[in-house]
Structure 1
């Protein structure tokens, strides 16, 4: 029998022996925190009897407990669940080492409930992300991501800790996962967006506010978007050739990530469309992929029994950080959240001159050689004078 079941039996046995322990448990321990339905039903019945002012709940510590406390609990709890017997309730009493330790046993029950609740909600988030990924949606993923965040905040409150993200140590770091397969529609949306931005660079300022290179599933498309962003940041012209040149300067052609033909095909000037629409689709797909990865990582943390509840909550919040960032940027893309202030006053306006100069300066190669400057003709001797001069004899 696992220690958690022992703890549940012990806390119920403590309440049977000293009903007054409910005053110390009821503010924070709930029936749903018990892993076994029968135990939750017994505890819920005890809370109800206490609310109904059952005489046994007024029994002082050390005083005899009326037998009605057990019989009434059995009768009422049997209406909530099946299989309860008087002998099992008496076994709960014998399972309690020390009744006065009931709050400690209760915290063991709550600790198990925290691990179990985090694992369950992480599994639901993962299932929602897989379903949304197949249907090209994100509503269920967004919903379950918010539910998981709310659950972590509530559990932190019940445990008495501050819900503060903390990076887990290397021993708990998630293992590298294989990239998830990406649908053809998602890849098509990425290429259509890049084509729109190449043919209509004036759409870039509105998109770069919430679309990041990491949102692209395809590494090649990610490099092209980085090249577009760099050209825009430096205030340089954007077309097929300038994008191709920028990808070369960034090493994407040399390492095989891209080939010139693909860059020229994607940046076809005949491509048109609304960049914001395709950008929203890309961020939405990125959110679903990020949620699937984060949910698996949180589930793995919840399965580590050695983690204290405060640690589990903090590590889980840190793991959800990238997902929260994508959720924020998706709201920004939908116009549901104001974005950060930018120096560009209107869509399509060029970047400020000082920023352009600084960006161009950073993009120039450092020249460590002394530049050659031709000497003016008037200040240098004639060739014949320098080479045919003879001393007087």
Structure 2
């Protein structure tokens, strides 16, 4: 009877080789096991910086035990046995031969600080990738309670990770990432199309509200035709021209918006069905735009972290540029959703700065100057 292979037997070729940082971790651990005195030169990393639980457990054990006397350590393996016992409390599969193999693969123990810096850099990459993935997932999952607030909280957490990496690896000139980033994806969403049409219709019916919604930009629309019609509305209101479906149609004609799929009758029908208030639909359009921007930012940063050629310095520069794009849309979102009290407070603050009285000066003397007393 033929022997049935185990599920994973014969499939060893499908197991991916370890990442380069795995070998760096082995070299660092071997250096510290061979000469524990090098631990004082290792900074910037903890057990969580290692890519495997076994490596993290060994580093934690080495760090928790007092360094042995160099002479005694060269004569016996008592300290190595203590490290193994301590590490086994977290990972039971560790063996003494494994520790000796780590010592054997270490090229130069005195290079321990360089190995630690490499591990710190790869840990920064993993942290940034995880934060970007959480942001992308949160932005796309509408089941989260208070979805918008939760997503923005994740964006803040990602920014904190970038700041921390920047403090560890300050960027320098010429450190732009060379990674090709994904193009923005705008999926066809019937709800988004309907909301944009309702916004255009209600804004045409209430043009006085358009001037108050400067926080909404043509780029927030998912349909180029809708973006062009919004630009037409803005142009008419800024010129204080009459606004109705016919005047918007005429402005759209001058902007080259008419054509197949945008016939005059269709545009007139689109602009003639107002429901609700322009502010409500504009906020809906901007919210979708903000979530789309957040997802794209997350994917851009993930692309940086997936490229092994991207250095920590380049990760910082690329991530900050991506977050700057998000900040611009986020600022407009805050303007749109600020409460009347907040908006009034902001307006008063700006007005006070603009009309601030000059500093008080000593009053001018109107009478003859007082005579100086003789000394």
**TMscore range, shorter length:** 0.7 to 0.9
1:123-272 aligned at under 5 Å gives the runs 123-132=133-142, 137-159=147-169, 161-162=170-171, 168-169=177-178, 172-176=179-183, 179-208=185-214, 210-254=215-259, 256=260, 258-268=262-272, 271-272=274-275
| SS of aligned partner of 1:132 | coil
The alignment status of 1:45 with 2:42, answered yes or no, reads: no
| SS of aligned partner of 1:305 | coil
The alignment status of 1:17 with 2:34, answered yes or no, reads: yes
Correspondence for 1:333: 336
Gaps of 5+ in 2: 1-17, 352-375
Correspondence for 1:373: none
**What value does the CA root-mean-square deviation take over the aligned residues?**
3.1
How many residues are paired up? 330
Q: 1:224 offset after TM fit, Å? A: 1.0
Q: Distance in 2 between matches of 1:309 and 1:228?
A: 46
Name the CA shift for 1:288/1:133 in 2 (closer, same or farther; >3 Å).
farther
The alignment status of 1:287 with 2:251, answered yes or no, reads: no
- Contact between 1:227 and 1:243, CA under 8 Å: does it hold in 2? yes
1:45-84 aligned at under 5 Å gives the runs 45-49=61-65, 54-56=66-68, 59=69, 64=74, 67-84=77-94
- Contact between 1:164 and 1:317, CA under 8 Å: does it hold in 2? no
Q: 1:105 offset after TM fit, Å? A: 0.6
TM-score in terms of structure 1 length: 0.75
Correspondence for 2:125: 115
Q: Distance in 2 between matches of 1:61 and 1:122?
A: 48
- Contact between 1:294 and 1:320, CA under 8 Å: does it hold in 2? yes
Q: Distance in 2 between matches of 1:299 and 1:280?
A: 28
Q: Distance in 2 between matches of 1:42 and 1:215?
A: 51
- Contact between 1:20 and 1:61, CA under 8 Å: does it hold in 2? no
- Contact between 2:177 and 2:304, CA under 8 Å: does it hold in 1? no
**Rg larger for:** 1
Q: 1:23 offset after TM fit, Å? A: 1.9
| SS of aligned partner of 2:141 | helix
- Contact between 1:29 and 1:106, CA under 8 Å: does it hold in 2? yes
| SS of aligned partner of 1:320 | helix
Q: 1:19 offset after TM fit, Å? A: 1.9
Q: 1:60 offset after TM fit, Å? A: 6.1
Q: Distance in 2 between matches of 1:63 and 1:241?
A: 91
The one of 304, 327, 336 aligned to 1:301: 304
The alignment status of 1:275 with 2:285, answered yes or no, reads: no
Name the CA shift for 1:163/1:335 in 2 (closer, same or farther; >3 Å).
farther
Q: Distance in 2 between matches of 1:65 and 1:298?
A: 50
Correspondence for 1:104: 114
